Amino acid sequence: MTEPQSPDVLPVGTILDGTYRLTRLLGQGAMGTVYEGHHTGAGKRVAIKVMHRELLAYPELAARFRREAKVTSELAHPHIVSVFGFGATPAGQPYLVMELLDGEDLQTRLERVGPLPLETVVQIVNQVASALGETHAAGVVHRDLKTDNVFLVRAPDGAVFAKVVDFGLSKVLKTSATKLTVARAVFGTPEFMAPEQAEGRQDAIDHRSDQWSLACLAWFAATACLPFTGPDVNAILNQVISAVPTPVGPGAPRIPAEVDKVLRRALSRHRADRFPTIRAFARAFEAAASGVSPDAPPTRRVAAPPPSVAVEAAQPPLQKAGEAGVEGPRRRRGVGRRLAITAALAISILSGVGWMLRDQPPISAWLQRAHAMLDGH
């Protein structure tokens, strides 16, 4: 006997705008549900993210969802997930049509295998920095970079190929008539947010805030220990604001001194003390990990897309559902992944102080040991 589905989940077989047939539920997040879809005309497989129905009651969230489509579709980069189109369900729920990725997000990888070799972390940092360097040049700050939002695409030769996903909390730095964030609201994931985010200083959030998040991600990927942690959200935010990373526990991989120095600079309390750009941080991180001066000529090659990943030289214009469909590599995501607290965010829109924080998922044996070691300090 099959378990009843949430009323917010569209039945498999639903056809959106006469074009996209939903073939499989992939997962659910704070803002929406992700399905595998099939373009009925072109025969292409895609991922379709449908906003939760109850969020339609909050116009700001619907506007943010639609902006994700616009922002992502304009970012043509091999290490950023591609958005090909958008539309709305008969109930008015907006949806995005994206490339389908085959692999796992970085959080799942860490829970599955524990800390990654430093060489692998360097590759991930370089690729993410390359992607976000492009978005920063376009005046867009991701603002929610974390291990859940970095997807590792499966490649036949086992090469590392990362893609940045989920620009739903992105901040457009250019002046706009539409502001989707109140002045003192807090958006992001506590363990990965910069001090200016934790303090709700929206005007202070810029490309250096993403640099902070990438440094947290690198620290976590290399050690399986979060640099900022605590028993509750307030404790974590207080530690972030103080900018004092939690010492890596005994038994966890040690961060080489030069690498530690680079990470701590990127995790500086004051933005001016961090690296001037996210790419500069990535170069320094690689140099420290390899023992090479950051001023030496670069020798690394830009990662080529895996054969299974269709990456186009130029991003196609944003299309409404019912127009062209594009195939992408398959993305899998388990139901019940780390979620943002939607209800809290909804309340924040009304009250003027917001939170968009994730739930705490079950952690791997590595993370359990890491927490135990920290508790013993």
Task: Identify the band that residue 29 occupies on the pLDDT scale cut at 50, 70 and 90.
Answer: confident
In the sheet that holds 20-28, the strands lie side by side as 15-16, 20-28, 32-39, 45-51, 94-98, 83-88, 319-320
Catalytic-residue membership of 144:
yes
Which tops the pLDDT comparison, 238 or 76? 238
Average pLDDT over residues 252-262: 92
- What is the C-alpha separation between 123 and 291, in angstroms, rounded? 15
- Mean predicted lDDT score pLDDT of the chain: 75
Indicate if the pLDDT at residue 120 is higher than 80.
yes
pLDDT, greater one: 69 or 240: 240
On the question of pLDDT at 11 being above 90, the answer is: yes
pLDDT of 179 over the 70 cut: no
How far is CA 377 from its chain centroid?
31
Segment 136-172, tens digit of pLDDT: 988 888 888 999 999 999 988 889 999 998 876 655 5
- pLDDT of amino acid 99: 92
Predicted model pTM: 0.73
**Residue 122: predicted pLDDT:** 98
Q: What is the pLDDT of residue 198?
A: 87
- pLDDT at 114 exceeding the cut of 90: yes
Structure-model confidence comparison of residues 58 and 73, the more confident one:
58
Residue 377 confidence (pLDDT) above 80:
no
Q: Which residues contact 244 (CB under 8 A, 6 or more apart)?
A: none
CA 79 to CA 53: how far, in whole Å?
Answer: 30
What homologous superfamily is domain 104-303+355-375 in, according to CATH?
Transferase(Phosphotransferase) domain 1 (1.10.510.10)
Higher pLDDT, 297 or 212: 212
Per-residue pLDDT, averaged over 322-332, amounts to 33
Q: What percent of the chain has a predicted confidence (pLDDT) above 70?
A: 70
Residue 175: burial class (beta carbons within 10 Å; 0-12, 13-18, 19+): exposed
- Band (pLDDT 50/70/90 cuts) for residue 303 is low
The residue extents of the domains of the chain are: 15-101+308-335, 104-303+355-375
User: What pLDDT was estimated at residue 6?
Assistant: 58
The pLDDT > 90 percentage for the chain reads 42
Which of the following is catalytic: 17, 102, 144, 203?
144
Q: What number is the average pLDDT over the span 52-59?
A: 88
The yes-or-no verdict on residue 98 having pLDDT over 70 is yes
The lowest-confidence range among 1-15, 248-262, 362-376 is 362-376
Residues in the chain: 377
pLDDT, tens digit, 9 for 90 and up, residues 193-231: 899 988 888 788 889 999 999 999 999 999 999 999 889
Least confident of 16-25, 74-83, 223-232, 328-337: 328-337
Residue 334, pLDDT score: 34
Q: Classify 241 in phi/psi space as left (phi over 0), alpha (psi -120 to 50) or beta.
A: alpha
Domain 15-101+308-335: state its class: alpha beta
